[in-house]
Structure 1
Amino acid sequence: MTSTWIDTPITADLLPGALDVQHTARGVLPHRLPAWARAQNTDSQLAMVEAQPAGVRLAIRTRATAIELDALPTRWTYTGLPSRPDGVYDLLVDGQLIDQASVAGGDTVTIDMSSGTTQRRSGPPGTVRFTGLPDRMKHVEIWLPHNETTELVALRTDAPVTPAPIRGRRVWLHHGSSISQGSNAAGPTTTWPALAARSGGVDLVNLGFGGSALLDPFTARTMRDTPADLISVKIGINLVNTDVMRLRALGPAVHGFLDTIRDGHPHTPLLVISPIYCPIHEDTPGPGSFDLAALATGQVRFRATGDPAEKATGKLTLGVVREELARITVQRAAADPNLHHLDGLALYGEADFAELPLPDDLHPDTAAHRRIAERFGPQVFDTNGPFAGPVA
């Protein structure tokens, strides 16, 4: 055990990927929406997921060989279902993943889907330890769990630390659904945006919000105000599985979302990505629902509850959304040469589903996240791609 620990306050400049840092009674809580945007939100789902630090990392410059991070996670479980595995902390040294760990303890919120009630159980903070680091000056990143709320309590090292210097890399700002947040990925650096950012040599700001990519105006204004060199929006699956709007509203909502982003980034490369393949919603509208038969056997699966005939009344399916996004992007690109479109089926299509099926019928697993990232890089970051440019 190291006897000469140095305590370093955890401040916003140590947490790239966070757009706000809230000081709580127990520590600091990274947020991926600013306070003014959170004040406009009344949805508990979005409140939960924006406080899950997907893409947020503790980034320092140090020659420390040992690091301890005290953290207090909040984990969400469902009555009758097995608990999720504890969130994973990925340790990168000079860009290379060298260790992983999890934190015990923390708070648990249990949701009873039959009654709609929640019960919270409080627990103590835990500690994640990384030792045996190389004894030299190095760039260290601890990527925080992408799927559980994480309050950071204390940072200790056996040598002084400073905020990681700006590396001059381009900043990629991405917004999407739980697929972009990283549902079913094994760890925070194996979500498809994290993998794609690494291959493209860019710094990621991940605004993937599980169940909550709903063209909210406060999200568009957040993106408008966030410095970025590259921007992408992945639109569709949540619009369908929440059944939040009809075709009549979709076009104006997409235009408004893009208009708002353009107010702050008039010439930044902006990529509109349509949904990846998801059989339950390809031709069947939402709303989506848990598959109760699967739940009875302790499995989590999803199903579509709409009727394909309802497309005639304006209900959305993934096929309808893809057609509309392609139409809107072509229309706008005539006056906006930095606006681009990517068909999500080029990232993960029907053949990919046959090989790497969605384990819960909605979210890709780690292998499929990697497949999506491997497809994204050559189409987007390589020469002639919409994000082509220097790799730092």
Structure 2
Amino acid sequence: MAHDLRPNIRPDAWRGAVGWEERDGAVRSWRLLPDLLDRAFAPDLITNARQSVGVRLDVDTDAESIALGGDLLLDIPRDARIDVLVDGELHRRIDLVAGAFVFDVSLPAGTHRVQAWLPQVGETWIRSVQLSGPATPRAAAPTRWTTYGSSISQCNAASGPSETWPALVARALDWDLTCLGFGGQCHLDPVSTRTIATVPADIISLCLGINVMGNASMSPRAFAPQVAGLIDQVRAAHPSAPIAVITPIVAPGLEHSPNAVGMTLDGVREAIIEVVSGTDDDLLHLIDGPSILGFDEAHLLSDGVHPDAAGYRLMGERLTAALQQLRA
């Protein structure tokens, strides 16, 4: 007997989505609160919020196979994959192209934890999810973690959706991940802040600055106050959660070259450091981005800004160690 695990039928079997939308027999995830979308006024942010970064099926089952079908929308050609994990290890990676997809994966005998991580690129509509046997949804992990950032948190170039740096941290520490990595769209938008405030969390990380620098979306006058406001609103919503603010990793071409409003990447870091160091909050922590991926690892930047797959794995290792200390 096949068991239907579509998100609209068994939302308790899915992790990482902020909301779901059903249309014409298919379901897609949202990574911003759907009832706030009309307050975003940022079409590219809304587009990105429909991408299923960090969204995954997570169940215990003795089923012999899992079958999944749907549609993948890709705005430009990119590598898109679904990762099926068994007991935390990659069992099968399925390469996808734009359009409809259907696959059936055999599972090892016995009862196992089975996860299906949806692509971190493109927009995934789920039409069918079936297990050949019953499944028990995994309870939320003891530590609920929300991370917010840019394309460097979305990790398009990671080997697969279970190998983005947030996924690697979550897998290593057994944390329940909600990934709000929005490629090109980490501009401290109120809709993002309200989403972070609403999603239950035991630890929060904020990787800030690279999009503001790259898009010249804030001046030096505006940036630090906006960072302070984001931190204050997140703290008010999560009074006992450690908050880690991560400064940008290195980007050699942006370090000292002013953008259109006179900001440099080094100046962005200095502004973030000033805000964090000037905030009276024992649960607020600073993580130095260049200590996570620095000049000695600049060869791991595929375009001078974004890490390649090896770079994201290194970030995952170092951020696992850095973030784990905050929950010790």
TM-score, normalised by the number of residues in structure 1: 0.80
- Corresponding residue for residue 122 of structure 1: none
Distance 2:273 2:98 in 1: 47
Question: Counterpart of 2:28 in 1: which secondary structure?
Answer: strand
Which has the higher Rg, Structure 1 or Structure 2? 1
Give the AA of the match of 2:251.
Answer: C
Pick from 263, 279, 284 the counterpart of residue 316 of structure 1: 263
- Corresponding residue for residue 345 of structure 1: 290
Once the two structures are superposed, residues 104-123 of structure 1 have per-residue CA deviations (whole angstroms, 9 ceiling, x without a partner) of: 551xxxxxxxxxxxxxxxxx
Distance 1:9 1:183 in 2: 25
- How large is the Cα RMSD of the aligned pairs? 1.6
How far the C-alpha of 1:138 sits from its partner, in A, is 1.9
The 3 A distance-change label for structure 1 pair 223 and 180 is: same
How far the C-alpha of 1:50 sits from its partner, in A, is 1.1
Distance 1:182 1:7 in 2: 30
Question: Counterpart of 1:173 in 2: which secondary structure?
Answer: strand
How far the C-alpha of 1:263 sits from its partner, in A, is 1.5
Once the two structures are superposed, residues 281-319 of structure 1 have per-residue CA deviations (whole angstroms, 9 ceiling, x without a partner) of: 111233xxxxxxxxxxxxxxxxxxx5xxxxxxx622210
- Corresponding residue for residue 16 of structure 2: 17
Report which stretch shifted further, 32-41 or 322-331. Answer: 32-41
How far the C-alpha of 1:265 sits from its partner, in A, is 0.6
How far the C-alpha of 1:376 sits from its partner, in A, is 1.5
Give the AA of the match of 2:87.
Answer: D
Question: Counterpart of 1:142 in 2: which secondary structure?
Answer: strand
Give the AA of the match of 1:350.
Answer: F
Distance 2:185 2:46 in 1: 10
- Corresponding residue for residue 88 of structure 1: 81
Once the two structures are superposed, residues 200-259 of structure 1 have per-residue CA deviations (whole angstroms, 9 ceiling, x without a partner) of: 231211001000110111111111111011001000100011110101101111111111
- Corresponding residue for residue 104 of structure 2: 129
Distance 1:130 1:232 in 2: 34
Distance 2:138 2:284 in 1: 32
- Corresponding residue for residue 64 of structure 1: 63
Give the AA of the match of 2:52.
Answer: P
Question: Counterpart of 1:279 in 2: which secondary structure?
Answer: coil
Contact 1:103 / 1:127 at 8 angstroms: preserved in 2? no
Work out the number of aligned pairs and report it.
Answer: 326
Question: Counterpart of 1:240 in 2: which secondary structure?
Answer: helix
Q: Percent identity?
A: 34
Distance 1:63 1:244 in 2: 51
1:270 aligns with 2:243: yes
Runs of at least 5 residues in structure 1 that lack an aligned partner in the other structure? 78-82, 107-124, 287-305, 307-313
Contact 1:62 / 1:139 at 8 angstroms: preserved in 2? yes
- Corresponding residue for residue 225 of structure 2: 252
1:154 aligns with 2:128: yes
Pick from 188, 192, 209 the counterpart of residue 182 of structure 2: 209
Question: Counterpart of 1:136 in 2: which secondary structure?
Answer: coil
Distance 1:275 1:105 in 2: 32
Distance 2:319 2:116 in 1: 24
- Corresponding residue for residue 234 of structure 1: 207
- Corresponding residue for residue 137 of structure 2: 163
Distance 2:5 2:290 in 1: 46
Pick from 94, 100, 108 the counterpart of residue 93 of structure 2: 100
Contact 1:60 / 1:163 at 8 angstroms: preserved in 2? yes
Moved over 4 A (4+): none
How far the C-alpha of 1:186 sits from its partner, in A, is 1.5
Question: Counterpart of 2:139 in 1: which secondary structure?
Answer: coil
Question: Counterpart of 1:257 in 2: which secondary structure?
Answer: helix
Contact 2:40 / 2:190 at 8 angstroms: preserved in 1? no
1:362 aligns with 2:305: yes
How far the C-alpha of 1:164 sits from its partner, in A, is 2.3
Contact 2:18 / 2:33 at 8 angstroms: preserved in 1? yes
The 3 A distance-change label for structure 1 pair 6 and 183 is: closer
Distance 2:35 2:5 in 1: 28
Contact 1:93 / 1:140 at 8 angstroms: preserved in 2? yes
Question: Counterpart of 1:76 in 2: which secondary structure?
Answer: coil
Distance 2:104 2:257 in 1: 47
Give the AA of the match of 2:321.
Answer: P
Give the AA of the match of 1:36.
Answer: D
Give the AA of the match of 2:4.
Answer: D
- Corresponding residue for residue 221 of structure 1: 194
Distance 1:253 1:105 in 2: 38
Question: Counterpart of 1:281 in 2: which secondary structure?
Answer: coil
Distance 1:284 1:36 in 2: 40
How far the C-alpha of 1:162 sits from its partner, in A, is 3.2
Distance 2:96 2:300 in 1: 30
Distance 1:281 1:53 in 2: 29
Report which stretch shifted further, 12-21 or 277-286. Answer: 277-286
Distance 2:46 2:197 in 1: 20
Contact 1:243 / 1:285 at 8 angstroms: preserved in 2? no
Pick from 119, 125, 147 the counterpart of residue 145 of structure 1: 119
Distance 1:6 1:374 in 2: 36
The 3 A distance-change label for structure 1 pair 182 and 19 is: same
